[in-house]
């Protein structure tokens, strides 16, 4: 059972790390701000989610697991807000004076 | 494997520090500096100094970053108005290469001196850690870092808090006479909607986390500074979104909040002459409640001070 948990952790965290890598490449290579934001949000949401999911079986206690999930939720909230703010200021600059 | 990670972390830190020093654009340098604070936090985690890591991320990355960003925005405003002369470049040129080289040499000398000092330490390095751990029971605390901050070296902590207040006095005194005692202004005319949403959702969570950090600080990494920073951030988000206006800097409650922590600390310190061994010493049976009480007041004071530091000098005339 523990081996199964370890394998799950390895797979999920690797997948998460790959998503972060893909997001970073997108951030560096994509041509404009909106698509760069798009690349970043995938890494932030799904990548972090996979890493947290993978680490859950390794958590020492139930509270530790809940803390991990809370971290993911908070990161989601701040990443979503930051993306919206950046996109909004871009929009205003385009249409503004 | 961990060695590889550590080496990568160090290389990253040095590269980022170089970037901050070399980059021409001020705002780029500040954003890189915030990232540097976060990375440095990771480095402290690798050194098993979780308390320092938390403080570094909160203060070095968070508060200092916001302060620098707002300072940069203030500098940009008057410069944009008088566009006839590009002042910062002039200033930089006047300082010239000589200044840059002198600064680089001085920095290199400090780095070399630090490296020499570290290499010259005997092995094992002299440490007070066993003594600190042995005396932990007398404080009733479980976290040796908190014991150092609030019991063994309480004087340092007290002075630190007073320095914070002095910094705030410095910021406030930049206000012109007609707005003296008035409120700073933070929120833009129209706050973006996502920010308003965040300012409604995040503070309840943030306040719980801050209280948790303060409470757990007695026995585990955490404590007043970290908790105060989180509280300050929550208050700042609310003010930035325009949900609440910043208070008048002359407001009685605000002033009490600001001096409350250091004042209580000082009062307990003097009380030590009568009920314990001297200045800033606690009688053993009630050491923990005393420390927790001081910490609670300090947390609120730090939160108010940091938030007001970021809010800046008064910009509106005081309300009668």
The pLDDT, as a whole number, for residue B208 is 94
The pLDDT, as a whole number, for residue B81 is 54
Q: How confident is the model at residue B202 (pLDDT cuts 50, 70, 90)?
A: very high
CA distance B202 to chain A (A): 8
pLDDT (average), residues B59-76: 87
* Averaged pLDDT of chain B: 86
Residue A30 has φ and ψ, to the nearest 5°, of -65, 150
The pLDDT, as a whole number, for residue B79 is 57
Task: Give the structural domain span for A80.
Answer: 2-95
pLDDT (average), residues B70-99: 64
Question: Which range, of A22-31, A47-56, B140-149, B262-271, averages the lowest pLDDT?
Answer: B140-149
Only one residue has tokens 């970037």, namely: B19
Cα–Cα distance, B299 to B59 (Å, whole number):
14
pLDDT (average), residues B198-208: 93
* Residue A14 forms contact with B (CB below 8 Å): no
Contact A81 B205 (CB under 8 A): no
pLDDT (average), residues B76-87: 56
**Pick from A88, A53, A59, A58: nearest CA to A73:** A53
The pLDDT, as a whole number, for residue B95 is 61
Q: How far apart are the first and last CA of chain A?
A: 63
Q: How far is CA B130 from CA B124, B133, B134, B136, in A?
A: 13, 5, 6, 10
**Pick from B299, B273, B275, B293: nearest CA to B285:** B275
Alpha helices in chain B (DSSP H): 2-22, 26-46, 50-55, 64-81, 87-120, 129-134, 136-139, 144-147, 154-172, 193-216, 224-240, 252-275, 287-311
Question: Which range, of A88-97, B87-96, B133-142, B271-280, averages the lowest pLDDT?
Answer: B87-96
| Domains contained in chain A, number | 1
Q: Which of B191, B198, B204, B209 to mutate to test the interface with A (most CBs of A within 10 A)?
A: B198
Q: Which residues of B touch A97 (CB under 8 A)?
A: none
* Residue A91 forms contact with B (CB below 8 Å): no
Q: How confident is the model at residue B279 (pLDDT cuts 50, 70, 90)?
A: confident
pLDDT (average), residues B188-196: 84
* Residue A78 forms contact with B (CB below 8 Å): yes
> Cβ neighbours of residue A59 under 8 Å, at least 6 residues apart?
A65, A68
**Pick from B268, B259, B248: nearest CA to B315:** B248
Encoding tokens for residue A27?
A: 């951030």
The pLDDT, as a whole number, for residue B228 is 93
The pLDDT, as a whole number, for residue A21 is 92
Cβ-Cβ contacts under 8 Å between A and B: the total is 20
Q: Which ipTM score applies to this complex?
A: 0.84
Q: Which residues of A touch B193 (CB under 8 A)?
A: 84, 88
The pLDDT, as a whole number, for residue B280 is 81
């Amino acid at each position: 059972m523990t081996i199964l948990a370890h394998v799950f952790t390895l797979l999920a965290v690797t997948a998460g790390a790959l998503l972060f890598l893909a997001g970073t490449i997108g951030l560096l290579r994509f041509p404009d701000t909106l698509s760069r934001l798009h690349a970043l949000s995938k890494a932030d949401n799904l990548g972090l989610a996979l890493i947290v999911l993978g680490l859950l079986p390794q958590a020492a206690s139930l509270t530790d697991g809940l803390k991990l999930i809370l971290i993911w939720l908070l990161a989601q909230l701040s990443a979503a807000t930051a993306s919206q703010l950046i996109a909004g200021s871009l929009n205003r600059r385009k249409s503004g004076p | 494997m961990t060695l590889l990670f550590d080496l990568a972390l160090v290389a990253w830190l040095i590269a980022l520090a170089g970037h901050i020093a070399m980059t021409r654009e001020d705002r780029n340098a500040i954003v890189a500096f915030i990232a540097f604070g976060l990375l440095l936090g990771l480095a402290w985690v690798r050194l098993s100094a979780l308390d320092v890591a938390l403080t570094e991320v909160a203060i070095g990355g968070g508060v200092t970053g916001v302060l620098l960003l707002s300072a940069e925005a203030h500098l940009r405003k008057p410069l944009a108005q008088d566009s006839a002369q590009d002042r910062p470049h002039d200033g930089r040129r006047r300082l010239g290469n000589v200044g840059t080289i002198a600064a680089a040499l001085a920095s290199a000398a400090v780095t070399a001196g630090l490296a020499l000092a570290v290499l010259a330490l005997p092995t094992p390095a002299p440490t007070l850690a066993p003594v600190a751990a042995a005396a932990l029971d007398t404080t009733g605390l479980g976290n040796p870092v908190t014991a150092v901050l609030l019991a063994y070296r309480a004087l340092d902590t007290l002075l630190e808090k007073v320095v914070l207040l002095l910094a705030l006095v410095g910021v406030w005194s930049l206000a012109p006479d007609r707005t003296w005692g008035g409120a700073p202004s933070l929120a833009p005319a129209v706050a973006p909607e996502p920010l308003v949403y965040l300012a409604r959702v995040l503070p309840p969570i943030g306040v719980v986390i801050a209280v948790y950090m303060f409470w757990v600080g007695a026995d585990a990494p955490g404590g007043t500074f970290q908790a105060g920073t989180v509280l300050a951030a929550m208050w700042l988000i609310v003010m930035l979104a325009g949900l609440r206006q910043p208070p008048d800097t002359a407001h009685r409650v605000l002033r009490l909040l600001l001096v409350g922590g250091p004042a209580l600390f000082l009062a307990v310190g003097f009380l030590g002459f009568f009920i314990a061994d001297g200045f800033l010493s606690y009688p053993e049976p009630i050491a923990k409640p005393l420390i927790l009480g001081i910490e609670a007041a300090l947390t609120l004071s730090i939160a108010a001070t940091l938030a007001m530091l970021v809010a800046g000098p008064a910009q509106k005339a005081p309300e009668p």
